[in-house]
């Protein structure tokens, strides 16, 4: 016999198999495609704003998005695995030190801005293939040494005419 937690985990797996949900956190600017049914037809309306809170509770996970619409602050809470969410796109990542950004409710204008998190790409791309059990960095070292030697030769050649010009001026 399954308990409710197992049932919830299974339903989350089924939902994740059907649609892709990106990783996002509080402070990120997100664009949510919300399905709206008008009579018989259905359309998608986008709601773009800053995620001010995220609650991770398995099937009950939710997040709150805040945007300024015509000078008025609008907040909307979405269930993460809800069928009304058509798509979630992270527009930009914000650099914040808190999990809940409720202090943005009191702020206006420039003080309500969040700095953007700069993503650095460190290291070698995983997509590159390694040939004959040599690491990519070892294979590139001889090429780099050749480039350094060529630069040294070019520098000595370019320094020589300058030295000759100085001798001629004296």
Q: Identify whether the C-beta of residue 124 lies closer than 8 Å to the C-beta of residue 69.
A: no
Same domain, 140 and 100: no
User: CB of 49 within 8 A of CB of 30?
Assistant: yes
Domain boundaries, position 152: 124-170
Residues 108 and 157 in one domain: no
| Positive/negative CA dihedral, 134, 136, 137, 139 | positive
Please indicate whether residue 50 or residue 142 has the higher confidence score (pLDDT).
50
Number of domains within the chain: 2
Q: Are residues 143 and 77 in the same domain?
A: no
pLDDT tens by residue, 107-140: 988 999 999 988 776 665 555 555 555 544 555 5
One domain for residues 96 and 128: no
Sign of CA dihedral 66, 67, 70, 71: positive
Q: Domain with 93 in it: what CATH number? A: 2.30.30.790
Q: Which has the closest alpha carbon to 81: 25, 17, 15?
A: 15
Sign, CA torsion 61/119/107/101: positive
pLDDT tens digit string along 87-115? 999 999 999 999 999 999 999 889 999 99
Distance CA 158, CA 91 (A): 49
Sheet holding 72-79, edge to edge: 72-79, 62-69, 41-55, 29-38, 85-92
> Are 11 and 80 part of one and the same domain?
yes
Q: Are residues 77 and 38 in the same domain?
A: yes
């Amino acid at each position: 016999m399954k308990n409710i937690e197992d049932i919830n985990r299974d339903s989350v797996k089924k939902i994740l198999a059907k649609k892709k949900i990106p990783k996002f956190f509080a402070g990120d600017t997100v664009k949510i495609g919300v399905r709206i049914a008008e009579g018989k037809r259905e359309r998608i309306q986008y709601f773009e704003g800053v995620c001010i809170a995220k609650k991770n509770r398995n099937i009950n996970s939710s997040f709150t998005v805040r945007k300024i619409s015509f000078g008025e602050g609008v907040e909307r809470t979405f269930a993460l695995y809800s069928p009304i969410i058509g798509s979630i796109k992270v527009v930009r990542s914000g650099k914040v030190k808190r999990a809940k950004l409720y202090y943005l409710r009191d702020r206006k204008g420039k003080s309500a801005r969040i700095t953007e998190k700069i993503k650095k790409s460190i290291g070698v791309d995983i997509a590159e293939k390694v040939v004959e059990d040599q690491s990519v960095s070892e294979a590139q070292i001889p090429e780099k040494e050749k480039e350094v030697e060529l630069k040294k030769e070019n520098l000595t050649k370019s320094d020589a005419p300058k030295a000759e010009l100085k001798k001629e001026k004296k």
